Amino acid sequence: MTREVLDAQATTSLFGALRNTAGVTRATERLDIRQSLDPRDSREESQQLSAHRALGIYAVLFLLIIAFTGISLVFNKPVVEFINFLTASPPHPTPPPSDPDGRG
């Protein structure tokens, strides 16, 4: 990182330059999530930041659904027991033993 880049960004440290590089300084000025999700803000810069935050929040919902689906596939028995506990459902009855010879 050259001194010219640091001077152009009005910072004195490498951390300050990296923080300013991605627009993080401007993004952290507005920490109110409800305001970020409001599409009525007419400034172009605000609309871009709002869309970025809104898409991130909505993406988290889908990622959590995908993660829970994967967990339930890998750890089926504990997840079924946990869901039965949450919904106050009785446990599933055990299936009858199978006869591999097929004689009844």
Same domain for 56 and 81: yes
- Outline where DSSP puts E strands in 19-62: none
Same domain for 13 and 37: no
Same domain for 77 and 62: yes
**CA–CA distance, 67 with 72 (Å, rounded to integer):** 9
For residue 65, name the pLDDT band (cuts at 50, 70, 90).
very high
Over residues 81-88, mean pLDDT: 91
Domain that holds residue 57: 33-91
- Token look-up 């409001």 returns 38
Same domain for 22 and 7: yes
38 compared with 72, residue with greater pLDDT = 72
pTM above 0.85, yes or no: no
For residue 99, name the pLDDT band (cuts at 50, 70, 90).
confident
Q: DSSP string of 22-44?
A: TTHHHHHT---HHHHH-TT---H
Q: Quote the mean pLDDT of the chain.
A: 72
